[in-house]
Amino acid sequence: MRTERKMQGIIYIHVPKCGGSSFGAALRLRYLTSQATIRPGPRPDLPRTFGALTGEDRIEADYAQRDAELARLVARGTRCIAAHVRYNPGLHATAACDHAHVTLLRDPVERFVSHYRYLQRHHPDPARAPTLEGFLDTPDAPRLASQYLFYFSGRSQNRCCDLPRAIETAIASLARFTLVGDLSDPAAFARGLRRIAGPLPRLRRNRAPSPTVIPDALRPRITQLCAPDIAIYRAALGLDRAAA
């Protein structure tokens, strides 16, 4: 019988709105005595200047703190970490070299629309456009549309000076992963996780109230916004680490 002590370490990078909440929770139950997540939002260790930051400056500062927390958890010997954190190639090459890195992706256009609607339901903001069509014209739309770029290259589409290079960096990062899944085939991703971690409990978390529907009239504009993530997604599905 396998014991947790012998189980391989695992870092599950959970990109928002890729349907990964259930898998992350199941992994943490599997590694019950040595697991952690990193909660979004304000934390005691944030610098005092954080409250004065807005927009992408605030997001960058928040994720820098998450990067640091991930490194601390690995240094403590935490065997399973499932969280909204960016991939850290330096950490992977050193302290986390014995941790399998896994992630679950989703069609970028669907992911973008789902993310916007999730924010509208759970994090309403009077400064955010109240309709999806209006949101497409705001500076925040490219950021929301390129989460794969941000999570796997560390670059924001709005602030990227060399977008092709950043896309290549993200693809190269995913090529280092033990497992890359696609939400269109969750069973394949589950099989891949079981090969790494053994039997997993079946959970269903954070389900949307209705299927994601992309308005036909808006699809071309959304596709253009999501172009970097579409390139990353297509390349990732062709990797030999892709779940099958």
User: In this predicted structure, what is the pLDDT of residue 31?
Assistant: 96
19, HSE (Cβ side, Cα atoms, 13 Å): 18
Written as six digits, the tokens of 229 are 């993530």
Continuous segment of H or E residues that includes residue 116: helix 108-122
Distance CA 4, CA 1 (A): 10
* DSSP one-letter string for 23-74: HHHHHHHHTTTSEE---SS--TTS-GGGGG--HHHHHHHHHHHHHHHHHHHH
pTM attached to this predicted model: 0.91
Q: CB of 238 within 8 A of CB of 174?
A: no
User: In this predicted structure, what is the pLDDT of residue 53?
Assistant: 73
User: In this predicted structure, what is the pLDDT of residue 4?
Assistant: 43
Distance CA 16, CA 105 (A): 9
Written as six digits, the tokens of 163 are 């977008």
User: In this predicted structure, what is the pLDDT of residue 41?
Assistant: 65
User: In this predicted structure, what is the pLDDT of residue 1?
Assistant: 38
User: In this predicted structure, what is the pLDDT of residue 115?
Assistant: 96
Could you identify the residue written with the tokens 């309403």? 124
Residue in 75, 69, 84, 77 with CA at minimum distance from that of residue 24: 84
User: In this predicted structure, what is the pLDDT of residue 61?
Assistant: 86
Residue in 146, 131, 118, 139 with CA at minimum distance from that of residue 223: 146
User: In this predicted structure, what is the pLDDT of residue 57?
Assistant: 84
Low-confidence ranges of the chain (pLDDT < 50): 1-5
Structural domains of the chain sorted by starting position, each given as residue range(s) with its CATH number in brackets: 4-237 (3.40.50.300)
